[in-house]
A and B are shown apart, each in its own frame.
Chain A
Amino acid sequence: MLSAIHQRKPVQLFIGLGIGIVFGFLLQKGGATQYDVIIGQLLFTDFTVVKIMLSAVITGMVGVHLLRSLGLAQLHPKPGSWGSSAIGGLIFGVGFGTLGYCPGTVAGAVGQGSLDALFGGVVGILIGAGLFAVFYPRLSQGILRKGDFGELTLPQLFRVQPWLIVPPVAIALTALLLLLEKVGL
């Protein structure tokens, strides 16, 4: 039944829109669509972003692995390499620290009326993504392949079943959140 829904494109576009609306609503209510909050995280004065991300990861990690064990969901880990994930991540980070939004929160910032997000952020990201398409033929033969590890997951890396990794990671991330609260951040 679920795979029948997955294959119906108009239904999927509608579900995507609905998921986006809830996502944008949550991001705005959390303060993550505000430049001040994101930059505050990168300068260690406001830990809202880390609190949102870690509680999302804990919930989603346990939930998605449960759904997978029940046969209701499949994982889709992205492939990666050191040249792609780490170098691309650092370039993204330079943008993160100057723009003060990310591709999801910049859309949320537009929705709340932030003009720097619309005319600076969105336009810049479109230009940057277009530049990548120009460089892609050369990059894909070179640096993007360096240190390729494919669609590897942590359970595969450590050669254990996922349920040996999920609880310790959930406990460690929860402990980190408790520690943040305890020191008053």
Chain B
Amino acid sequence: MGWLTAARWSPYAVGVGIGLLSCIAFVFSDKPIGCSTAFARTSGMIERLFRGNKVLDKSYYKKFVPSVDWEWMVVVGIVIGAFISSQLSGQFQFQWLPSKWVASFGLTPVARWLVALIGGVFMGLGARWGGGCTSGHGISGTLQLAVSGWLAAMSFFVGGIATATIVYKLLGT
């Protein structure tokens, strides 16, 4: 069972596995795998804790009701699955600073936190603006040959490559 405790698997093995998992999702749940609506629903749930039921009147939350659904469970599952994998390989570790970040921007956790937070805001906004994320559009959309999936996936990488290049080549040391 050494493969379960291995630190890394071949990206092709992982990719084929995710492709097969998509097929399972279509057959048994009649759904493409996606992640970002779970964040929209959770945001609505949190807002509801503070502002009560009038949150449910927002037109967006009529479309994506703030409650636990299939995709929400997928995202919870991802946390658990990655936890199991990293425990088995001994990679689990509480860590604020990724090493590539440290090499260019130093050892201040607050800086990384702020950039991650701002990046997250753009990502949450953009994912719902574009109607999907790297899973929903980038994998599930493209494999269904959806025009929305191919267009969104190309835009993710164009925007991501440009931004990462600016961050690392112009601002990094």
Contacts and interface: CB of A to CB of B under 8 A. Distances in A.
Contacts of A64: 22-23, 26, 143-144
Nearest to B78: A24
A17 B19 contact: no
Contacts of B19: 55-61, 63
A91 B100 contact: no
Interface in A9-25: 12-25
For the residues of B in contact with A, the DSSP-based class is helix
Contacts of A106: 120
A96 B36 CA distance: 13
Contacts of A51: 11-12, 15
B107 interface: no
A90 B125 CA distance: 11
Contacts, number: 551
B82 A98 contact: no
Interface in B24-46: 24-33, 35-36, 38-40, 42-44, 46
B73 A20 contact: yes
B interface bracket (residues with beta carbon within 8 Å of A): 35 or more
A124 B118 contact: yes
Nearest to A72: B27
B8 interface: yes
Nearest to A131: B125
A120 B155 contact: no
Interface of B: 6, 8-9, 11-12, 14-33, 35-36, 38-40, 42-44, 46-47, 58-61, 68-86, 89, 91-101, 109, 112-168
Interface of A: 2-3, 5-6, 12-36, 39-40, 42-44, 48, 51-61, 63-64, 67, 72-80, 82, 84-100, 102-117, 119-134, 136-137, 139-140, 144, 149, 151-155, 157, 162, 165-166, 169, 177
20 contacts: A13-B73, A19-B24, A23-B81, A42-B161, A51-B15, A60-B23, A61-B145, A73-B30, A84-B130, A84-B131, A86-B155, A90-B126, A92-B122, A100-B119, A114-B98, A115-B95, A121-B119, A128-B121, A129-B43, A152-B146
